């Protein structure tokens, strides 16, 4: 039984990260009907920028670890958001009126471009975050040892997701995003600046992806330029699992995928872990082709 709960915490921590990245896929898809294949690489970029800022500024020495990491997170999110916006302007906007396939190809190209730029700037070696940044504390929850960082990651990702959800549901700008997701033409006629909405989506999604990259760097310590591929693929799966285009769906899908992976590895076979995760995806798509939450608010964000 203890092992089961241990595996639950394992799965939730990984799932939280999948969910954060999945949000970026789902938001862009909701508004543009485009799979932003470069999103996984923006995640990698977040991890690398965090590495640079951490090692060059020595933030945590000056203002203490907690505040230091908070400032670091804001800086990384800001920078990755900026790159996301540039990406949209240079790779997607010129193709807005072209067939959708052209934009997908452009997204793949952007992915390769970002990945190789990171390799050329930082080199092909694995980069390792400094070890003394985060506390190594282990908390005992009901007699089970759980690393504190694991809980913090889950809490941080849930906070970010709830904040995003409230922003989309409760604010005027959020309403504009939802309107643009339903019908761009009608939204424009209602006086919504669709271009700005799209820009905003490309600021928010990458910012969340970048923050996930930073968390992976801080917790697992190891970053390399190809890491965006695996995480991107899993997060994309999570987004589809929950119903692509649907924000709570991405959160649910991410956490669920993390749990399925951890429990599948624990009770069936580790080598079959990915097969189990994708098997669950196929099963859900057969039963509910729009994903878990896709039907209720189809084509909306």
Residue from the set 182, 220, 278, 288 that interacts with other proteins by CB under 8 A: 220
Query: What pairing do the DSSP bridges indicate for beta strands 138-141 and 222-223?
Result: unpaired
Decide if residue 52 touches other proteins (CB under 8 A). Answer: no
Residue from the set 10, 26, 44, 237 that interacts with other proteins by CB under 8 A: 10
Q: What CA–CA distance (Å, rounded) separates 88 from 237? A: 22
Query: Which residue in 51, 13, 29, 7 sits closest to 177, CA to CA?
Result: 29
With left for phi above 0 and alpha for psi between -120 and 50, is residue 73 left, alpha or beta?
alpha
8 Å CB contact between 4 and 170:
no
Crossing angle between the packed helical segments 172-182 and 148-170, to the nearest 10 degrees: 80
Residue 197: Cβ-neighbour burial (10 angstroms; 0-12, 13-18, 19+): buried
Decide if residue 42 touches other proteins (CB under 8 A). Answer: no
Residue from the set 151, 165, 199, 224 that interacts with other proteins by CB under 8 A: 224
Residue from the set 59, 77, 107, 262 that interacts with other proteins by CB under 8 A: 262
If binding means CB under 8 A, how many residues of this protein chain bind other proteins?
38
Q: Which is nearer to other proteins, 271 or 287 (CB)?
A: 271
Span 86-145, contacts to other proteins by CB under 8 A: 116, 119, 123-126, 128, 131, 136, 138, 145
Decide if residue 3 touches other proteins (CB under 8 A). Answer: yes
Q: Which is nearer to other proteins, 98 or 116 (CB)?
A: 116
Piece of the chain touching other proteins by CB under 8 A; list 64-72, 78-86, 99-107, 258-266: 258-266
Residues pairing with 145 in the sheet: 140
Residue from the set 12, 14, 72, 168 that interacts with other proteins by CB under 8 A: 14
Q: What CA–CA distance (Å, rounded) separates 19 from 8? A: 16
Residue from the set 226, 279, 283, 295 that interacts with other proteins by CB under 8 A: 226
Q: How far is the CB of 125 from other proteins (least distance, A)?
A: 4
Residue from the set 12, 13, 34, 200 that interacts with other proteins by CB under 8 A: 13
- Under the rule (CB under 8 A), what is the footprint of other proteins? 3, 6-7, 10-11, 13-14, 116, 119, 123-126, 128, 131, 136, 138, 145, 147, 216, 220-222, 224, 226-227, 229-231, 261-262, 265-266, 269-271, 273-274
């Amino acid at each position: 039984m203890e092992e089961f709960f241990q595996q639950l915490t394992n799965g939730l921590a990984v799932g939280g990260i999948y969910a954060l990245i999945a949000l970026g896929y789902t938001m862009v898809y909701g508004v543009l009907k485009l799979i932003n294949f470069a999103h996984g690489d923006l995640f990698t970029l977040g991890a690398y920028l965090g590495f640079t800022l951490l090692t060059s500024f020595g933030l945590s020495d000056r203002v203490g670890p907690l505040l230091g990491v908070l400032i670091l997170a804001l800086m990384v999110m800001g920078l990755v958001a900026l790159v996301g916006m540039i990406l949209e302007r240079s790779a997607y906007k010129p193709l807005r009126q072209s067939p959708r396939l052209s934009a997908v190809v452009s997204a793949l190209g952007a992915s390769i471009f970002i990945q190789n730029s990171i390799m050329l700037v930082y080199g092909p070696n694995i980069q390792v975050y400094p070890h003394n940044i985060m506390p190594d504390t282990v908390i005992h929850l009901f007699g089970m040892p759980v690393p504190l960082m694991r809980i913090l990651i889950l809490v941080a990702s849930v906070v970010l997701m709830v904040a995003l959800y409230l922003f989309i549901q409760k604010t005027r700008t959020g309403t504009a995003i939802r309107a643009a997701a339903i019908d761009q033409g009608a939204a424009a006629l209602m006086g919504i600046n669709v271009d700005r909405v799209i820009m905003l989506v490309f600021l928010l999604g990458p910012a969340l992806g970048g923050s996930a990259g930073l968390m992976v760097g801080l917790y697992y310590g190891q970053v390399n330029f190809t890491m965006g591929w695996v995480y991107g693929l899993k997060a994309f799966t999570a987004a589809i699992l929950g119903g692509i285009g649907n924000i709570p769906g991405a959160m649910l899908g991410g956490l669920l995928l993390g749990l399925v992976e951890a429990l599948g590895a624990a009770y069936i076979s580790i080598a079959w872990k990915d097969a189990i995760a994708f098997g669950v995806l196929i099963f859900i798509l057969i039963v509910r082709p729009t994903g878990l939450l896709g039907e209720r608010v189809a084509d909306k964000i």
